[in-house]
Amino acid sequence: EDQVTQSPEALRLQEGESSSLNCSYTVSGLRGLFWYRQDPGKGPEFLFTLYSAGEEKEKERLKATLTKKESFLHITAPKPEDSATYLCAVQSRGAGNQFYFGTGTSLTVIP
């Protein structure tokens, strides 16, 4: 069964304290792995797509990496405005290319 698990559920960081969020997945044929940011009460905002193991993408203080079993979202020197829930999703080759979302990591960056 296709599954996505994110850890930790919640993370509190001091401003400037770098860390990583984890997304572990099992999927019958990976089409792509996607990272989103979601602010409370808002729609998820697309961040990155990763397609194959070894691939890396960067955007400002965020860097996403992918292995055959998991993905990491590294946050370097975070700022309070990075506080949000970060969602990971995988797209399977089966079942109509369906997306499977994890439950997210809630990040709080304290000034």
Partner 1 sequence: DSGVTQTPKHLITATGQRVTLRCSPRSGDLSVYWYQQSLDQGLQFLIQYYNGEERAKGNILERFSAQQFPDLHSELNLSSLELGDSALYFCASSAPGGWNEQFFGPGTRLTVL
**Residue 104 found at the interface with partner 1 (CB under 8 A):** yes
CB closer to partner 1, 75 vs 89: 89
Q: Per the structure block, which two tokens stand in for 87?
A: 């969602």
**Residue 41 found at the interface with partner 1 (CB under 8 A):** yes
Please, which residues bridge with residue 58 across strands? 63
CB of 61 to partner 1, least distance (A): 20
Please, which residues bridge with residue 44 across strands? none
Among 8, 97, 108, 110, binds partner 1 (CB under 8 A): 97
**Residue 95 found at the interface with partner 1 (CB under 8 A):** yes
Please, which residues bridge with residue 12 across strands? 108
Listed ranges 18-26, 60-68, 72-80, 83-91: which one lies at the site for partner 1 (CB under 8 A) = 83-91
Helix segments in the chain, DSSP class H: none
**DSSP-assigned states of every residue in 31-63:** EEEEEEEE-TTS--EEEEEE-STT-EEEETTEE
Binding stretches for partner 1 (CB under 8 A): 31-32, 34, 36, 41-46, 49, 87, 89, 91, 95-104
